[in-house]
A and B are shown apart, each in its own frame.
Chain A
Amino acid sequence: MANFSVMSAALSGRQRTTGARHALDGLLIHVRVVLNKTIGRSCSRCLQGLAAAILVVLIGASIAGCREGGQNVSNEDEIAPQRLFMFAAIKQRQPSAGIEAMRVNLGRRLYYDQHLSVNGTISCNSCHQLARYGVDPGQAVSKGYNGKPGGRNSPTVYNAGLQFVQFWDGRAATLAAQASGPMMNPVEMGMPSADHVLAYLHSNAAYVREFKAVYPGIEDPVTMDHVTSAIAIFEQGLVTPGRWDAYLAGDTGVLSAREKQGLRVFLDAGCAACHAGAGMGGNSYAQLGAYRDWPDQKSDPGRYAVTQQERDRMTFKVPTLRNVAETGPWFHDGKVTSLNEAVRLMGEYQLGRKFSAEEISSIASFLQALTGDLPQPYIQPQESAGVSQQPLADKHLHRMNGHSAQANSQRGE
Chain B
Amino acid sequence: MRRLIWIIAVPIVVLLAAMQFRRPDYNLPPSVSEASLDAIHHPDPQIRSMLDRSCNACHSVQARIPWYGHIWPASELLQSDVRRGRAYLDFSNWDHLSPEMSRIRLLNACEAMRTGEMPLWYYRPMHPGAAPKSAEVNVFCGWARALSPGGVRTEEGQ
Residues of A within 8 A of B (CB): 30-31, 33-34, 53-54, 57-58, 60-61, 64, 85-86, 164-165, 173, 270, 273, 276-278, 283-287, 290-293, 309-311, 313, 315, 350-352
Contact = CB atoms under 8 A, between A and B. Distances in A.
Contacts of A309: 29, 32
Chain B binding surface SS class: helix
B100 A283 contact: yes
B74 interface: yes
Q: 9 nearest interchain CB pairs? A: A164-B98, A290-B87, A283-B98, A285-B96, A311-B29, A310-B29, A284-B101, A283-B101, A86-B104
Contacts of A283: 97-98, 100-101, 157
Given A86-B107, A291-B87, A311-B35, A54 B101 contact: no
A257 B73 CA distance: 41
A26 to B, nearest CB: 11
Given A30-B9, A350-B87, A57 B100 contact: no
- For chain A, what secondary structure do more than half of its interface residues adopt (helix, strand, loop), or is it mixed? mixed
Interface of B: 5-6, 8-9, 16, 25, 27, 29-32, 35, 61, 68, 73-74, 76-77, 80, 83-84, 86-89, 92-93, 96-101, 104-105, 107-108, 122, 157-158
Question: Counting chain A CB atoms within 10 Å of each CB, which of B9, B27, B87 scores highest?
Answer: B87
A277 B101 contact: yes
Given A270-B88, A277-B101, A61 B77 contact: yes
Contact of B6 (A34, A61, A85): A34
10 contacts: A86-B104, A164-B100, A270-B88, A278-B100, A283-B97, A283-B101, A283-B157, A284-B96, A284-B97, A310-B30
A290 B83 CA distance: 6
Contacts of A278: 100
Contacts of B101: 164, 276-277, 283-284
A284 B98 contact: yes
B145 to A, nearest CB: 11
Given A58-B73, A278-B100, 19 more contacts: A54-B16, A54-B74, A61-B80, A85-B107, A164-B157, A270-B88, A273-B87, A273-B88, A273-B89, A277-B98, A287-B87, A291-B80, A292-B83, A309-B32, A310-B30, A311-B30, A311-B32, A351-B84, A352-B87
A352 B98 contact: no
Nearest to B9: A34
